[in-house]
Amino acid sequence: MRIAQVSPLFESVPPRLYGGTERVVAFLTDELVRLGHEVTLFASGDSETQARLVPVWPNALRLDATCRDPLAPHVLMLEEVAQRAQEFDVIHFHISQFHLPVVRRLPVAHVTTMHGRLDMPELAPLFAEFHDVPLVSISDAQRDPLPEAGWIETIPHGLPVDLLEFDPGPGKYLAFLGRIAREKRVDRAIAIATALGQRLRIAAKVDPADRDYFEHEIRPLLDNPLVDFIGEINEQEKGAFLGQATALLFPIDWPEPFGLVMIEALACGVPVVAFRGGSVPEVIDDGVTGFIVDSVEDAIAATQNVHHLDRYRCREVFERRFNVTRMAQHHVALYEQLLERRSSGHALTGVV
């Protein structure tokens, strides 16, 4: 099958540092190649892939200080995809809603995975208009704000089974991994660790949009002697950081679309203490691979009991439910459905 993957240009594929969407695109693209498909990746020129790379822009935009208008490279990429559309059997977009007016006019099958939060009110009329565009969700919960959108499938993320090594534990500290943002609630993680008298290591990036929040609300909390803020880490550092943790704290305060860090922790055998929200109940098996809580008090109690959870079971669940081969095969089956429906003249919208 001739497949095009269209990635955001903000990060390389895979990202040098933080970046969920581009990391998933990297895993999916390489696995599709391994499965024998002819794959083309539209991405930044500093990407590394087993597919044929179309380098739409020289470097990832987040790390390119010379780019002042991130929309311009994406417009160029979209035009490149449209001009070359007939080279492919199916085109898979990962660039949010930017391309919607174009895909209706493409002469080939297409699908769009939505990777982010969808509870912004301005999205409802947009996806009501484009209800005929086939969409993939990364969790069932992600769909809730837009029930009338063109959902056709939910495909959870997957990771290569050899990406992160299993660590039998028991761990040396509590971990927080991701980015510093109000909805991620690293302040809750600090409160939990402080109440327990346990060390907390925070590996997180700070986006420009969150800099003021970090400086005024989070930085003062980092003076706590139990807290070690190490900043943004790369893929090579992530395994040791997670594997040596007693538990991953995931104290979110928003409708999490998926939460890639949760399955990264499980891959290392590390249980997750997560606040209920969005995809969390779809990823974490409460009492098996972690605990799902509703308050800081619940989280404190749960974290005291993570040593009762089986780290080998966490790894087994990861390998069974969240491996990249399962994710890629699920996509291939969907692509085949898209091609079959297109050849028969039937829309796929509404199939789940």
pLDDT of residue 69: 93
Rounded to the nearest 5 percent, the helix, strand and coil shares of the chain are 40, 20, 40
Give the pLDDT mean for 179-207. 96
Mean pLDDT of the chain: 95
DSSP 120-152: -TTHHHHHHHTTTS-EEESSTGGGTT-TTS-EE
pLDDT of residue 346: 62
Spatial distance between the Cα atoms of 198 and 337, rounded to a whole number of angstroms: 50
Spatial distance between the Cα atoms of 296 and 303, rounded to a whole number of angstroms: 10
Q: Are 289 and 314 in contact (CB under 8 A)?
A: yes
Spatial distance between the Cα atoms of 95 and 114, rounded to a whole number of angstroms: 8
Residues 6+ apart with CB under 8 A from 295: none
DSSP code at position 59: S
Cα of first residue to Cα of last residue in the chain, in angstroms, is 22
Give the pLDDT mean for 201-220. 95
Write the CA distances from 318 to 28, 129, 169, 170, 256, integer angstroms: 16, 37, 16, 18, 19
pLDDT of residue 24: 97
The burial class, CB within 10 Å (0-12 / 13-18 / 19+), for 13 is: buried
Using one digit for the tens of pLDDT, what is the confidence trace for 114-147?
A: 999 999 999 999 999 999 999 999 999 999 999 9
SS3 (DSSP) at 303:
helix
Spatial distance between the Cα atoms of 44 and 13, rounded to a whole number of angstroms: 7
Using one digit for the tens of pLDDT, what is the confidence trace for 292-322?
A: 999 999 999 999 999 999 999 999 999 999 9
Residue 293, CA atoms < 13 Å, CB-side half-sphere: 24
Residue 266, CA atoms < 13 Å, CB-side half-sphere: 32
Q: Is the model's pLDDT at 351 over the cut of 50?
A: no
Domains contained in the chain, CATH given: 2-158+323-344 (3.40.50.2000), 173-321 (3.40.50.2000)
- pLDDT band at 236; cut points 50, 70, 90: confident
Return the sign of the alpha-carbon dihedral for residues 160, 161, 162, 165.
Answer: positive
pLDDT of residue 348: 54
Q: Is the model's pLDDT at 91 over the cut of 60?
A: yes
Spatial distance between the Cα atoms of 226 and 158, rounded to a whole number of angstroms: 33
Spatial distance between the Cα atoms of 222 and 219, rounded to a whole number of angstroms: 5
Looking at per-residue pLDDT, the higher value among 49 and 68 belongs to 49
Q: Is the model's pLDDT at 15 over the cut of 70?
A: yes
Give the pLDDT mean for 202-215. 94
Give the pLDDT mean for 8-30. 91
Residues 6+ apart with CB under 8 A from 182: 210, 213, 253
Measured N-to-C along each axis, helices 186-196 and 296-303 cross at an angle, to the nearest 10 degrees, of 50
Phi, psi of 32 (to 5 degrees): -60, -40
Q: What is the pTM of this model?
A: 0.93
Instruction: List the helix and strand counts (H, then E) for the chain.
Output: 12, 13
SS3 (DSSP) at 247:
strand
Q: How many residues does the chain have?
A: 352
Using one digit for the tens of pLDDT, what is the confidence trace for 140-160?
A: 999 999 999 999 999 999 999
